[in-house]
């Protein structure tokens, strides 16, 4: 069934809400700013349905990197420690979201998502739909999940793509620490130009900065994944969440913020 609602998926990047060089530390100044923008936008847009997803940053990525460097894989202890770290981050974020009056509900991905033999990720989308129908805002996050005979990291980005496709979202907003996509790597070239609008099939021609920190990949990977999942007919926006007002304006459809990628 296709849901005819006005749904936006907001992915709060781990590098925006946590400090990557100081493990297990939340950037409360940024988080408070972002949740108040979310609350203001929701107040002004009564028809808007929202799913919030957050990344792992100095919580999940830090713990997974630590176990990968010691045992080379995610074993049961690593799974447990990672899901615990992500639960801590999620609970802290939830407290802030509740504090601004948003009716949020946490859906821990390790309890609903699983990787199948063919590599597909399965989950019960009806549960999420039901929460949305009943006026709640589901909050999910990058997490560790069960694979067939291993444990895997499921990126919040992948969850964003799956939900956007399965729940018929209008838009995904990736809240990052960069202004959007550039015609060349802005970390290397001072004359790099911010792109306002890109077609998904043009992504391959762009040069992206590599993140050495994330165990789940770079911006390139984040955006190419939409093509892999066959996402069509939605806008994806990459915005800088460290700039005050950007998230609020993006939720209101202000086209001057960040880069819009058309899938
Ligand atoms: O930051 C990764 O989620 P992401 C979560 O959305 C873990 O890629 C557990 C590393």
CA–CA distance, 50 with 135 (Å, rounded to integer): 9
Ligand 1 atom closest to the Cα of residue 82 is 9
CA 217 to ligand 1 centroid distance, Å: 9
Query: Do 206 and 224 form a contact (C-beta atoms < 8 A)?
Result: no
Domain presence at residue 242: yes
- Residue 211 predicted with pLDDT over 80: no
Residue 54's pLDDT band, with cuts at 50, 70 and 90, is very high
Decide: 142 in ligand 1 pocket, CB within 6 A: yes
Q: Look up the domain containing 115 and give its range.
A: 6-262
CA-to-CA distance for 17 and 176, rounded, in angstroms? 9
Q: Is residue 203 part of a domain?
A: yes
What's the pLDDT score for residue 183?
A: 87
Q: What is the DSSP letter of 149?
A: S
Q: What is the pLDDT of residue 136?
A: 98
* Ligand 1 pocket: which of 15, 16, 55, 143 to mutate (most atoms within 8 A of CB): 55
Q: What is the pLDDT of residues 228-260, one digit of tens each?
A: 999 999 999 999 999 999 999 999 999 999 999
In a domain, 1, yes or no: no
- Our answer on whether the CB atom of 61 is closer than 6 Å to any ligand 1 atom is yes
pTM to 2 decimal places: 0.96
109 lines ligand 1 (CB under 6 A): no
Per-residue pLDDT tens for 130-185? 999 999 999 999 999 999 999 999 999 999 999 999 999 999 999 999 999 988 88
Give the burial class of 229: count Cβ atoms within 10 A of its Cβ; 0-12 exposed, 13-18 middle, 19 or more buried.
Answer: middle
Protein residue whose Cα sits closest to atom 7 of ligand 1: 60
Is residue 97 included in any domain, yes or no? yes
**What is the number of domains present in the chain?**
1
The answer to whether residue 231 is domain-embedded is yes
**Looking at residue 158, which CATH number applies to its domain?**
3.40.1160.10
Instruction: State in Å: Cα 180 to ligand 1 middle.
Output: 20
Instruction: Confirm whether 238 is domain-assigned.
Output: yes
- Give yes or no for a contact between 53 and 160, defined as CB atoms under 8 angstroms apart: yes
């Amino acid at each position: 069934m296709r849901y005819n609602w006005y749904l936006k998926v907001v992915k709060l990047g781990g590098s925006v809400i946590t400090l990557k060089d100081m493990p297990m530390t939340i950037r409360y100044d940024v988080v408070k700013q972002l949740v108040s923008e979310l609350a203001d936008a929701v107040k002004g847009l009564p028809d808007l349905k929202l799913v919030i997803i957050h990344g792992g940053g100095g919580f999940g990525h830090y713990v997974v990197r630590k176990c990968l460097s010691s045992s080379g894989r995610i074993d049961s202890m690593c799974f447990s420690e990672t899901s615990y770290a992500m639960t801590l981050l999620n609970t802290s974020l939830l407290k802030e979201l509740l504090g601004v009056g948003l009716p949020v509900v946490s859906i821990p991905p390790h309890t609903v998502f699983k990787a199948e033999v063919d590599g597909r990720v399965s989950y019960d989308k009806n549960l999420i739909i039901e929460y949305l129908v009943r006026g709640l805002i589901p909050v999910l996050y990058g997490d560790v999940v069960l694979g067939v005979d291993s444990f895997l990291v499921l990126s919040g980005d992948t969850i964003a793509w799956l939900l956007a496709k399965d729940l018929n979202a209008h838009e995904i907003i990736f809240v990052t620490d960069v202004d959007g996509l550039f015609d060349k790597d802005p970390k290397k070239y001072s004359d790099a130009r911010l792109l306002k609008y890109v077609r998904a099939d043009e992504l391959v021609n762009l040069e992206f900065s590599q993140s050495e920190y994330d165990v789940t990949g770079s911006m390139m990977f984040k955006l190419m994944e939409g093509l892999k999942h066959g996402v069509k007919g939605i806008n994806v926006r990459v915005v800088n969440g460290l700039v005050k007002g950007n998230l609020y304006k993006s939720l209101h459809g202000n086209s001057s913020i960040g880069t819009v990628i058309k899938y």
